[in-house]
Amino acid sequence: MANRTVSDAIAVHGTNPQYLIEKIIRTRIYESLYWKESCFGLTAETVIDRAIELTSIGGQYGNQRPTEFLALVLKLLQLQPAKEIIIEFIRQEDYKYLRALGVFYLRLAGTSLEIYQYLEPLLNDYRKMRQRLPSGDFDIICMDEFIDNLLREERVFDTILPRLAKRHVLEENDELPPRISALEDDLEDDLPE
Amino acid sequence: MAARGGINAKGEAVPQPVKVQRYWPGRAPKGVKEYLSSEEEDEEEQHFEKQKETELITSTYQIEISEQEAASDRRLRRLREAKNAGHETSSRRRRHADEDTDEASRNIHKSEGIDDEDEDDITSRRQRLREHALEQRRIEEEQLKAQEEAEKARSEEQQTRKLLKPVFIPRAHRETILEKERLEKEAEEAEEKRLQALEERKKESHALVAEQIQKELTKTVDEETGKVEVDDTDGLDEQAEYEAWKLRELKRVYNDAEIFNDDLLFDFKSRENEREEIERRRQMSDEVRFKEDLERARKSREEKSKGKYRFLQKYYHKGAFYLDTDDKLFKRDYTEATPDEAAHKELLPKIMQVKNFGRAGQTKWTHLADQDTSTKDSPWRQKLKRTNNARDDIDRSRKRRTRDRN
């Protein structure tokens, strides 16, 4: 198994899916204890157990050590599970860190349309998550903040996110309906006053 | 064999050579015969006598040599002589036989002598021997008898022991099998119990280790952060969490609405405005559009403050990246003088009014404006005045060339 991508993987964004994590961080993950101890021989199914055990999300921390979250993202990229599995990761509500993992993977490997379709509804999920900062400290980040970062930022958790088509472009092509915020009703209520 | 003389056919005494005792392989040496037992000796003697007779018979028939032959042939003569010389023959075999017969005859004589002397002695000895042999035989017979009796007794004993009648016991009732099964079952149960205990113990120790690790992890986190661990449980204060989200969501909605709010480049308030603007510009002719572009460029140039530079103040470029971020660092005024440049350099003596004065990188330049060559009165802008001499030179060379050609 080693660190090779599965043989039947489909190229994502014209490259080996694992290359979506930069080389240096990838190497650090391969050398990390968590990767060697807990990520060996995982499948799309057993990855769930590891994701449920997660207690924080983040990129690199301390002495540029990759977090377990990043290691699992790389594992998913290596395994390339079916899209339905990832969508199920995102849909389920019991484990927020599993959802975060699925979301991050989809942002890396999905198409723009999918990303808008599956990520924007999660802007209404305001559950708290522990985020590991580069200094090694922990911080609270809510799911909607995390999603918002993924949709706007170019770089999240020390990973360059693939380019995302602008939302209005997709709207003009009639591929995506305009986004309606959950607060829309409240706003309309507020306006007349 | 002692040396002995002989007389040949002419009646001369011929000394016979001393016969040296010789060892023949497979034949008993001389002395041994004397020690043979009397009975065997007798047999031997008889045998020898018989042999001697045959030897003698075989030896006599061949030699018949006439006088004439002897006279004509030297060898035959010699042979005849030899024959006449008694028992001496040319044949080696014959000679040996002869020796043996001599010996045997002598022995016979000797033994005959002994027989005569001690016949009673021998008979008594024989008697003794016979008695001895009989005794031996009797003893052996007795021993054999005793053995036989012992065996007989033993076999009788075996026969007398009472044998039990074999009774068939079905497999299910056989005690040995039942016992065996019971033992096996017990062993199995014990093994199972042991394994279970082992498993439990393993689990226990595993849990212990896990707990320890968890403790250590939280501990290290605490040490690293130096504060209480961050709690990510939801629903502690549902209302506050909702309100926080509402605020964020409103901000998002607002930002989406004003996606093009960068008023440095465009005066667009929304995507709607942008579309209208595009339409408007498409209606224009090229000249009008160009004019508008120039106007906008001039305006934006004026809007950017150039800042007030002091005399000989260093220039630092602001950079082009990250200007859209809300960081204070990028909103600073980079045209201000740094503290070490705050001195009034215009008051310094002329010679010190240069860049990096007193340093290795000192230049003679103050600033670019001082060295500006683009002004109209600079020497580079002056039209060159041709002198007469120069024109003459040119004319002369031209004339020379035309003349040469002709």
Assigned domain for A181 exists: no
Q: Measured between CB atoms, does B275 come within 8 Å of chain A?
A: no
Looking at residue A77, what is its pLDDT? 93
pLDDT at B233: 79
CA closest to A138 among chain B residues: B230
Which residue among B224, B252, B271 sits closest to A148, beta carbon to beta carbon? B252
A residues 45-74 lying closer than 8 A (beta carbon) to B: 55-56, 62
The nearest alpha carbon in chain B to A153 belongs to B325
Cα A32-A37-A41 angle, rounded to 5 deg: 110
**Which residues between 228 and 247 in chain B have a beta carbon less than 8 angstroms from any beta carbon of chain A?**
229-230, 232-234, 241-242, 244-246
Q: Which of B227, B233, B252 to mutate to test the interface with A (most CBs of A within 10 A)?
A: B252
Which of B224, B241, B249 is nearest residue A123 as measured by Cβ atoms? Answer: B249
Per the structure, the complete domain to which residue A102 belongs is given by: 17-164
CA distance readout (Å), A112 to A87, A100, A106, A117, B176: 15, 18, 10, 9, 80
Which residue stretches of chain A have pLDDT < 70? 1, 187-193
Q: Is A179 inside a domain boundary? A: no
A138 and B221: CB-CB below 8 Å?
yes
In this prediction, the answer to ipTM > 0.90 reads no
Checking if the pLDDT of B25 tops 60, the result is yes
Would you tell me how many other CB atoms lie within 10 Å of the CB of residue A69? 24
Q: How many independent structural domains does chain A possess?
A: 1
Residue A53 lies in a domain: yes
pTM of the model: 0.47
DSSP state of B247: H
pLDDT on residue B209:
92
Smallest CA–CA distance from A132 into chain B, residue: B230
Subunit contact B225:A136, Cβ cutoff 8 A: yes
Q: Do A138 and B229 touch (CB under 8 A)?
A: yes
Among B247-251, B286-290, B362-366, the range scoring the smallest mean pLDDT is: B362-366
A·B CB contacts under 8 A: 56
Model confidence band, residue B235 (pLDDT cutoffs 50, 70, 90): confident
Give tens-digit pLDDT for B34-74: 554 555 555 655 666 565 555 445 544 455 666 776 777 78
Q: Is the pLDDT of residue B24 over 50?
A: yes
Residue from B221, B224, B232, B270 whose CB has the most chain A CBs within 10 Å, to mutate: B232
Whether B232 has a pLDDT exceeding 60, the answer reads yes
Measured distance CA(A29)–CA(A40) in Å, rounded: 12
Longest dimension (CA), chain A: 64
Residue A173 within a domain: no
- On chain B, the residues whose CB falls within 8 A of the CB of A183 are 246, 249-250, 253
Rounded to the nearest angstrom, the gap between the alpha carbon of residue B86 and the centroid of all alpha carbons in its chain is 96
Q: How many CB atoms lie within 10 A of CB A53?
A: 13
Contacts of A124 in chain B (CB under 8 A): 245, 249
The 10s digit of each residue's pLDDT in B115-168 is 555 678 888 999 999 999 999 999 999 999 999 988 887 877 777 777 888 888
Cβ A54 vs Cβ A72: under 8 Å = yes
How far apart are the C-alpha atoms of A135 and B396, rounded to whole Å?
Answer: 86
CA B246 to each of CA A103, A125, A140, B243: distance values in angstroms, whole numbers, following the listed order: 22, 11, 17, 5
A-chain CB neighbours of B213 within 8 Å are: none
Closest by CA to A117, choosing from A80, A159, A171, A161, is A171
Q: Residue B92: is its pLDDT beyond 60?
A: no
Nearest chain A residue to B229 by CA: give it: A138
Mean pLDDT across the stretch B241-260? 81
Of the candidates B110, B116, B118, the one whose C-alpha atom is nearest the C-alpha of residue B36 is: B110
B197 touches chain A (CB under 8 A): no
Q: Do B230 and A142 touch (CB under 8 A)?
A: no
Query: Is A170 inside any structural domain?
Result: no
- The answer to whether position A30 is within a domain reads yes
In a domain, A5, yes or no: no
With CB atoms and an 8 Å threshold, state whether B233 touches A128. yes
- Please report which confidence band the pLDDT of residue B385 belongs to, taking 50, 70 and 90 as the band edges: low
- Chain B closest-CA separation from residue A49 CA (Å): 16
Is residue B336's pLDDT more than 80? yes
